[in-house]
Amino acid sequence: MRTAEIEALTAITRSGVLNRLGMSFGDKRDIYDAVGYNKNPTFDDYLALYRRGDISRRVVDAPATTSWFGRGLVPSVTESDTEETEFERQWKGLVGNSHIWHYICRADIISRVGRYGILLIGANDGKPMSEPLERANKLLYLMPYSEGSAMITEFVRDPEDVRYGRPQRYNISVLTDDGATMVERRVHHSRVLHLADDRLDSEVYGRPALESVLNRCKDLELILAGGAEGIWRGAYPGTAFIADKDANMLGQTTEKLVEEIEDYVHGFKRYLKLQGITPVQMLPAVADISKHVDVELSVIAAATGIPKRILMGSERGELASTQDERAWWDRISERRLMYCEPAVIRPLIDRLIDVGILPRPKSGYTILWPSLHEQSPQERAAVAAAKSKALSDYLAAPGADMVIPSDIFLEDILGFPKQRIQQMHDMLGLVSELADGGEDDGL
């Protein structure tokens, strides 16, 4: 069976599964249809929600931006611990001149909107983009494209090929110089870094970041829109104009009455001239939607693994709880290890090495990620206070050093490294020598 036929069969199977969503009571009740949920959303649906949504945009952006720029730091790529090699020098030049981390982050974000995204590698090999990128010596540009702008037109069909089932060529929609016309360009896979986060049984397609929370985002939209409309209508419910039982409406036409009322409601006129009609102000009734919003946010946080305070933008320690922050950093560290390094950075660097844009490192290279678990000043102060009290209690306890020798206490209990403990001993010995010398001089 050809790859295209496999993809078509997979799409049909997926469509059948999606049509089962929300069905209950022997298919007599369709919850999705009743509340207006989308059973089979397309890339355009996700893109529209990302562009106009609020929480939905945060769901897509937060893991990507934090992975690459967490705490304002980017990863570093090294070959040697002792001296700067030619590989390191040229890599740093690419990072500075081509803004590699910026474009990687953008490609990561746009790939999370749909099932995949790509990062187009522009090089000076002098060949059409439809042909393989084999040799080049300069990186000209990097350009991110979404699933909607980079259509896969051909797959590798040879089952003995290491890239079997993966994209062979793409059609990329590119804006012309006037910015108003789209042209399609056929691009070989060797000029593309394919990004697909949250992959399960496919090496090509991942899960859109909003797929599992699409219904909740729809709920939020309805709740907030209904709440805004309710506040608008409830805060000023209007005025009832009640005609008196024996009202004499002679001389007061309907048109004049309507004009009088509209001038009062919509204009600056603050009095009414009504004959035989009594205006009665209706009581305001504003519903509190905060509990409903909080429930939806809690479910979105649970489904995405983004703590609620982080989801709302309170990333700093003084705003988000310590547990929320630690859980978030743990999730980002996991994403870096499982996805960012093996599926994004290394494939890009390896591609640049293979075509000759980067020199081949003699002993390989290492990707170093900046630490995310940095203690806040308040946390450092609390740790210092706890250690000081533990040391004070240890010194004050008679015979404590007989149960736990001082070096073991400093290393195992207080967490000092052996080198630091030795420095303490050396410093105490020097102080003792100076004290003894001072007494001798005094004598």
pLDDT tens digits along 278-294: 777 766 666 788 898 99
Does 13 score more than 60 pLDDT? no
pLDDT of residue 286: 65
Q: What is the pLDDT of residue 94?
A: 95
- What does the DSSP 8-state code read for residue 370? P
Q: How confident is the model at residue 420 (pLDDT cuts 50, 70, 90)?
A: confident
CA–CA gap between residue 217 and residue 222 (Å, rounded): 9
Q: Give the residue-averaged pLDDT of 348-377.
A: 89
Write the DSSP symbol of residue 70.
Answer: G
Higher-confidence residue of 58 and 276: namely 58
- Is pLDDT at 20 greater than 80 in this prediction? no
Q: Which pLDDT score, from 0 to 100, does residue 316 have? A: 47
Higher local confidence (pLDDT), 261 or 156:
156
Say how far residue 425 (Cα) sits from the centre of its chain.
48
CA pair distance 253, 333, nearest whole angstrom: 74
pLDDT digits (tens, 9 = 90+) for 137-149: 999 999 999 999 9
Coil vs helix vs strand at 223: helix
Provide the percentage of residues in the chain whose pLDDT is more than 70: 78
Kindly report which listed range (61-65, 136-140, 373-377) carries the lowest average pLDDT score.
Answer: 373-377
pLDDT-derived band at 152, boundaries 50, 70, 90:
very high
Residue 441 has pLDDT above 70, yes or no: no
- 240 phi/psi in degrees, rounded to 5: -95, 135
Q: How many helices (H) and strands (E) does the chain have?
A: 16, 12
In whole angstroms, give the CA distance from residue 257 to residue 267. 15
Give the model's confidence band at 211: pLDDT under 50 very low, under 70 low, under 90 confident, else very high: very high
Confidence band, pLDDT 50/70/90 cuts, at residue 270? low
pLDDT number for residue 318 = 47
User: Could you tell me which residues come within 8 angstroms of residue 314 by beta carbon, excluding any fewer than 6 positions away?
Assistant: 320
Q: Look at residue 34 and tell me whether its pLDDT is greater than 90.
A: no
* Candidate from 19-33, 323-337, 363-377 with smallest mean pLDDT: 19-33
Residue type at 318 in one-letter notation: E
pLDDT, tens only, 93-126? 999 999 999 999 999 999 999 999 999 999 999 9
Place of tokens 């929300």: 22
Helices (H), 122-273: 214-235, 254-266
Provide, for the chain, the percentages of residues in helix, strand and coil under a 3-state DSSP scheme, each rounded to the nearest 5. Answer: 50, 15, 35
pTM: 0.73
pLDDT for the residue 416? 84
Answer yes or no: is pLDDT of 439 > 70. no
Show me where the domains of the chain are located: 1-40, 41-217+295-368, 239-281, 377-442
Instruction: Inform me whether the pLDDT recorded for 168 exceeds 90.
Output: yes
Sign of the alpha-carbon dihedral angle for 331, 302, 223, 214? positive
Share of the chain above pLDDT 90, in %: 48
| 428 in Cβ contact with 443 (< 8 Å) | no
**Model confidence over 173-197: pLDDT tens digits?**
987 666 667 789 999 999 999 999 9
What tokens appear for 49 in the block?
């929600």
User: What's the pLDDT score for residue 177?
Assistant: 67
Q: CA 206, CA 196: separation in Å to the nearest integer?
A: 5
Rounded to 5°, angle at Cα 215 from 214 and 220: 100
Structure token digits, residue 62:
């937060």
Mean pLDDT of the chain: 84
Question: Is the distance from CB of 389 to CB of 414 less than 8 angstroms?
Answer: no
> Do residues 287 and 229 make contact, with C-beta atoms less than 8 angstroms apart?
no
Strands 167-175 and 23-24: unpaired
Q: 136 pLDDT band (50/70/90 cuts)?
A: very high
Residue type, 112: R
The span from the CA of 108 to the CA of 66, in Å, is 11
* pLDDT, greater one: 126 or 3: 126
* Predicted confidence (pLDDT) per residue in 248-269, tens digit: 655 556 777 777 777 776 766 6
Contact 119, 144 (CB under 8 A): yes
